[in-house]
Structure 1
Amino acid sequence: MTRIPDRLESGVPYPLGATFDGLGVNFAVFSAHAEKIELCLFDESGRQEIARLELPEWTDEIWHGYLPDARPGLLYGFRAHGPYEPEQGHRFNPNKLLLDPYTKRTFGRVRWSDALHGYRVASPRADLSFDRRDSAPAMPKSVVVSDSFDWGDDRRPNTPWSETVIYEAHVKGLTRLMESVPAAERGTYRALSHPDVISHLQRLGITAIELMPVHGFVQDRFLKEKGLVNYWGYNTLAFFAPEGRYLGRGDADDLRLAVRRLHAAGIEVILDVVYNHTAEGSELGQTMCFRGLDNATYYRLQKDNPRYCVNDTGTGNTLNLDQPRVLQMVMDSLRHWAESYRIDGFRFDLGATLGRTGDGGFDPGASFFDALRQDPVLGRVKLISEPWDIGPGGYQLGNHPPGFAEWNDKFRDSTRRFWRGDAGVRPEFAARILGSGDLFDRRARRPWASVNFVASHDGQPLTDITRYEQRHNEANGEDNRDGHSENLSCNWGVEGPTDDPAINAIRDRVRRSMLITLLASLGTPMLLAGDEFGRTQMGNNNAYCQDNEISWLDWKQAATEEGQNLAHFVRRLILIRRHYPLVRSATFLYGEEIAPGIRNIDWFDERGQQLSPEDWQNPEGKALVMRRARILDDGSFEAITMLMNGSQATLEFQLPEPHHHRRLLVDSADTEIGEYDLEGSTIEVKDRAAILIHATGPVA
């Protein structure tokens, strides 16, 4: 920029944010209640404010102005003038520098100071007081960018939902300890495109990597003061900007490069996104962006006292997606990632919040869902919801509209309980491994709508589920009071690692049985990164603040014989899932007879007898056989049978009739052998073991 004029030209109200047109930059920002908004320009260090220019026009509640000769790289922020009336929901304070909600890049980081608050923190009047200190020295700055990237012949994999296998990972934790990645790149976006990362995913058979939050987020002050960090990243401040901590020495194009190379390998990229709240916290939180621009519009406020935020999220505030401009911001952000970064899908944190309407209730026809479903860009990517929040009626599993998949915690819990040996679990477990049709079979939804998982970032990894019965979160600095108190886990005799071969044998068997359950059930399987080679968090079930070896994947473990054997087992399961369509049925099954004596789904006990209503209600019934079958084009039948022994004794299973050619595909109790043909009508299944069998034959 060669000069700074005395005033801005009028510019245009669209698009929102800072837009470089080759000759200058147009600035546009929404506020329905501001009386004036100023554009603040900073030197290249971000420390000195070099100009303050009023946005001259206000069109459809968009403030806008044009700065001639401005170029990408310019640092800026906003100051908003208006009423400071917290009891009316207004918290304007022009002493506070505000990040552009549409900024596509940020410079610097938050430096925690009481000056970030719009009120005097120590005042007896609390947030009704007014703070006149300038917050600019403590604030990151927005940066003007010009997005351009050569995508070449990039093509989205467009993997069908029914063939999708998701791998949930953290950008930093995935590669921070991967020694084959150059040291300067470990834990960065660039590392995602490293050949060893991609080949590992390809060898496993993963079709989609789901990245934990990469939107620009804030480090919580209380964590910083305890020497901890917000590792997970669920505290967004910049919905359009990639998180700077993962840039390393590179820039945002490193993430685009990773997406392009993953696409070339046939792997989709899904982002975990947080549009239910922002990093500004409750009414006692900071004024860094949305609160200062228009608190009464951006946030849901209590109707009887708009001084206070509605807190359906547990973070202090809730974004108000009933407001058209707030909804527009979310939609614009999603399209930005889908188009500028070619992201293939989104997982929505606390998705129930996004479906709340003006009365506070959940509605599958809420404006957010309707806007997504009709959007020509976003309606074609994968959409996944975490279907709950902490607000009233916040558990909405199965209640999202068509087009959405949902995290199914009922699958997680029933799987853990069955293999732990809990009584009375069999009916619930059966419903979950059959795709949870009781929850999802409506409005033309399909089994893939159930995202099945045994472990995720939120809780213990798979190995720890078999090692620890208690949480071990001492490192979090909350006296081990945080995190879930019940893990539905079992340590099998010793809390933590042990050299006892008998305990380790049953732990390994249970772990493999849960993996068979995950990958042989109807629905979309999601594997937690590192579970394929035995990662551990040493019992921590709430590692949100652990940016260290507790959370990072230990690739040395992957290189051990144990780690390699488990990874090979996972590869076999994913290959079986890919090869046999019955394992991943595209439709719900309800026991329709497809040939004499053969139904598309049938349930048996270890005696080979169909389960009666009384059997289903037997709380001690811990053996289960699920057979899925179909008629092939030549008139013969094909079946996949899963034998599951959740008891503490080895059982001889009578294979259900009719008897035809059978082939054992995998046995969680014996990983030394591969596939082999079965003879006879019985097979021994060890305690806590699962077996998959493929059968073919003529129809009687």
Structure 2
Amino acid sequence: MSRYASCGGGPVRASWEFKEMVKALHGAGIEVILDVVYNHTNEADDENPYTTSFRGIDNKVYYMVDLNNNAQLLNFAGCGNTFNCNHPTVMELILDSLRHWVTEYHVDGFRFDLASVLCRGTDGTPINAPPLVKAISKDSVLSRCKIIAEPWDCGGLYLVGKFPNWDRWAEWNGKYRDDIRRFIKGDAGMKGNFATRIAGSADLYRVNKRKPYHSVNFVIAHDGFTLYDLVSYNNKHNDANGEGGNDGCNDNFSWNCGIEGETSDANINALRSRQMKNFHLALMVSQGTPMMLMGDEYGHTRYGNNNSYGHDTAINNFQWGQLEARKNDHFRFFSKMIKFRLSHNVLRKESFIEKYPLSLNINATEMLMKEFPTKKRSRNDITWLEDNWYNEESRFLAFMLHDGNGGDIYLAFNAHHFSIKTAIPSPPRNRNWYRVVDTNLKSPDDFVTEGVSGISETYDVAPYSAILLEAKQ
């Protein structure tokens, strides 16, 4: 696209600059995952036809249509039309496109928008072994790429944990997003689900040869609320979009911490800060592949707009001044937590830490109870310090991760509105507990890399806060 070139340089320059960007990122050790949208095009719907390409070439080939209703366009993408991905001609186009990005631009992988559309037949009916998904999985050029599905579409085909994957496809874990949001904000009955998501979502991904890293864990994505807005708004505020507030998701599982939107109340703002740190801590200690939204590291706000894609304003532009202003507080915590994850292999295991028999028909709490029915029952990698799984009102979870060399990690999350005095288990032999994280404390005490000694047999975990202890010599 010409507008992607700097200084109006045109399409050739745009192409060259993209290649230079990929080269520079690779030089810095950063892979490039391209977001691709093969589920719909810009040609709109039957009421507002916008003929620029495929519908003017062969509408019935390139789009899913209802042959029993005057070949009306089917709409599983929410944009008026649906690309006919599993038609042989369309498959060839998509595969050629993907190969082109790999061979010509050297991208490292793809995230497929509304990927469940790729799992529909030419009439829109869901199919179990979609030819296109299989072809991408087996293609010789694409075999070295990371491939990630957004495993749902706007027609209700929700395939989280069930996307046809040939042991290669990773998935955006929408259940992780929802369960983490609900537990951290204090919803009842979410502790078992929260534990299962933290532990790698084995209920969804421990099938065949899939691994924890096939779960792309996220609390925030480019769609929906930013992290700051998640803790600042109960409702979406999309008036600026000009659609009467009818656009955007209604189920955000957000909590404004007591006041809707911006406020000068110091207590509310402190609570919001804790909650953002709680979310980030949970994400960084979860088994799987973590994903963050750019801007959350300094607390970017869109003022409650959860469908802001059409705005070229401050709500979508990265605010470098805010990053600079918050670099010693919010940004510092986020940065140090990422570094902590990278330096502790126990947080990035390549195999599932649970050993319970997998069943997709029982809920998370029942699964955990099958394996850990009593308090402090340990299994190699993890100890759940819990005997209260079935208490719907319990919003506190503590557990230990074991690295096999004594460098254990203790974590506790308190989503109650009151503090919890929790018993701290004995550290491994010849080790002592050091407090690395307490999200209730102000910077720089909220994260101390070397740890703070003197941890006693109990610890008061403040309301809506979390702690991380590390066993050290």
Q: How high is the TM-score relative to the length of structure 2?
A: 0.88
Matched residue SS, 2:69: coil
The one-letter code sitting in structure 2 at the alignment partner of 1:282 is D
2:360 alignment partner in structure 1: none
Task: State the percentage of identical aligned residues.
Answer: 39
The one-letter code sitting in structure 2 at the alignment partner of 1:307 is A
User: Shift in Å at residue 679 of structure 1?
Assistant: 3.2
The one-letter code sitting in structure 2 at the alignment partner of 1:286 is Y
User: For the residues of structure 1 that align with 2:195 and 2:318, how far apart are their CA atoms?
Assistant: 33
User: For the residues of structure 2 that align with 1:591 and 1:442, how far apart are their CA atoms?
Assistant: 13
- Relative to its length, the structure with more strand (as a share) is 1
User: For the residues of structure 2 that align with 1:303 and 1:656, how far apart are their CA atoms?
Assistant: 66
User: Shift in Å at residue 598 of structure 1?
Assistant: 5.2
Matched, 1:437 2:214: no
2:309 alignment partner in structure 1: 544
Pairs within 5 Å for 1:329-478? 329-358=93-122, 360-392=124-156, 394-400=157-163, 401=165, 402-478=167-243
- Counterpart selection for 1:692 from 448, 468, 473: 468
1:461–1:537 Cα contact (<8 Å) kept: yes
Compare 243-252 and 532-541 and name the one that shifted more. 243-252
The one-letter code sitting in structure 2 at the alignment partner of 1:663 is Y
Matched residue SS, 2:296: coil
User: For the residues of structure 2 that align with 1:696 and 1:375, how far apart are their CA atoms?
Assistant: 47
2:200–2:352 Cα contact (<8 Å) kept: yes
2:444 alignment partner in structure 1: 672
Matched, 1:245 2:17: no
2:229–2:303 Cα contact (<8 Å) kept: yes
User: For the residues of structure 2 that align with 1:559 and 1:641, how far apart are their CA atoms?
Assistant: 32
User: Shift in Å at residue 677 of structure 1?
Assistant: 3.0
User: For the residues of structure 2 that align with 1:533 and 1:485, how far apart are their CA atoms?
Assistant: 25
Aligned residues: 440
Pairs within 5 Å for 1:153-232? none
- Counterpart selection for 2:383 from 577, 580, 602: 602
Going from structure 1 to structure 2, the CA distance change for 1:363 and 1:436 (only over 3 Å counts) comes to: farther
Q: Which runs of 5+ in 2 are unaligned?
A: 357-370
Matched residue SS, 1:452: strand
User: Shift in Å at residue 294 of structure 1?
Assistant: 1.3
1:254 alignment partner in structure 2: 17
2:424–2:459 Cα contact (<8 Å) kept: yes
Which whole-Å deviations, capped at 9, do the CAs of 1:572-591 have from their partners, x for residues lacking one?
11111111111111111115
Matched residue SS, 1:631: coil
Pairs within 5 Å for 1:265-280? 265-280=28-43
User: Shift in Å at residue 519 of structure 1?
Assistant: 0.9
Q: Which runs of 5+ in 1 are unaligned?
A: 1-242, 605-609
Which whole-Å deviations, capped at 9, do the CAs of 1:23-50 have from their partners, x for residues lacking one?
xxxxxxxxxxxxxxxxxxxxxxxxxxxx
User: For the residues of structure 2 that align with 1:270 and 1:333, how far apart are their CA atoms?
Assistant: 15
Which whole-Å deviations, capped at 9, do the CAs of 1:58-83 have from their partners, x for residues lacking one?
xxxxxxxxxxxxxxxxxxxxxxxxxx
Going from structure 1 to structure 2, the CA distance change for 1:364 and 1:346 (only over 3 Å counts) comes to: farther
1:558–1:564 Cα contact (<8 Å) kept: no
The one-letter code sitting in structure 2 at the alignment partner of 1:281 is A
The one-letter code sitting in structure 2 at the alignment partner of 1:543 is S
User: For the residues of structure 2 that align with 1:332 and 1:588, how far apart are their CA atoms?
Assistant: 36
Matched residue SS, 1:319: coil
Matched residue SS, 1:340: helix
User: For the residues of structure 2 that align with 1:558 and 1:363, how far apart are their CA atoms?
Assistant: 46
User: For the residues of structure 2 that align with 1:477 and 1:359, how far apart are their CA atoms?
Assistant: 33
The one-letter code sitting in structure 1 at the alignment partner of 2:309 is Y
User: Shift in Å at residue 485 of structure 1?
Assistant: 2.3
- Counterpart selection for 1:509 from 247, 264, 274: 274
2:391 alignment partner in structure 1: 618
Matched residue SS, 2:94: helix
User: For the residues of structure 2 that align with 1:296 and 1:477, how far apart are their CA atoms?
Assistant: 33
Pairs within 5 Å for 1:508-527? 508-527=273-292
Going from structure 1 to structure 2, the CA distance change for 1:362 and 1:691 (only over 3 Å counts) comes to: farther
User: For the residues of structure 1 that align with 2:23 and 2:103, how far apart are their CA atoms?
Assistant: 13
User: For the residues of structure 1 that align with 2:413 and 2:209, how far apart are their CA atoms?
Assistant: 30
User: For the residues of structure 2 that align with 1:513 and 1:428, how far apart are their CA atoms?
Assistant: 16
2:231–2:276 Cα contact (<8 Å) kept: yes
Matched residue SS, 1:574: helix
1:495 alignment partner in structure 2: 260
- Counterpart selection for 1:639 from 405, 408, 412: 408
Going from structure 1 to structure 2, the CA distance change for 1:479 and 1:339 (only over 3 Å counts) comes to: same
Matched residue SS, 2:35: strand
1:271–1:343 Cα contact (<8 Å) kept: yes
Shift >4 Å, 4+ stretches: 595-598, 657-660
1:659–1:681 Cα contact (<8 Å) kept: no
User: Shift in Å at residue 616 of structure 1?
Assistant: 1.4
- Relative to its length, the structure with more helix (as a share) is 2
The one-letter code sitting in structure 2 at the alignment partner of 1:666 is V
User: For the residues of structure 2 that align with 1:271 and 1:569, how far apart are their CA atoms?
Assistant: 28
The one-letter code sitting in structure 2 at the alignment partner of 1:651 is I
1:4 alignment partner in structure 2: none
Going from structure 1 to structure 2, the CA distance change for 1:363 and 1:446 (only over 3 Å counts) comes to: farther
User: For the residues of structure 1 that align with 2:253 and 2:201, how far apart are their CA atoms?
Assistant: 20
1:311–1:318 Cα contact (<8 Å) kept: yes
Larger radius of gyration: 1
1:580 alignment partner in structure 2: 344
User: For the residues of structure 1 that align with 2:175 and 2:39, how far apart are their CA atoms?
Assistant: 23
User: For the residues of structure 2 that align with 1:363 and 1:677, how far apart are their CA atoms?
Assistant: 57
1:583–1:640 Cα contact (<8 Å) kept: no
1:94 alignment partner in structure 2: none
User: For the residues of structure 2 that align with 1:367 and 1:306, how far apart are their CA atoms?
Assistant: 27
Matched residue SS, 1:334: helix
User: For the residues of structure 1 that align with 2:42 and 2:436, how far apart are their CA atoms?
Assistant: 49
User: For the residues of structure 2 that align with 1:383 and 1:652, how far apart are their CA atoms?
Assistant: 44
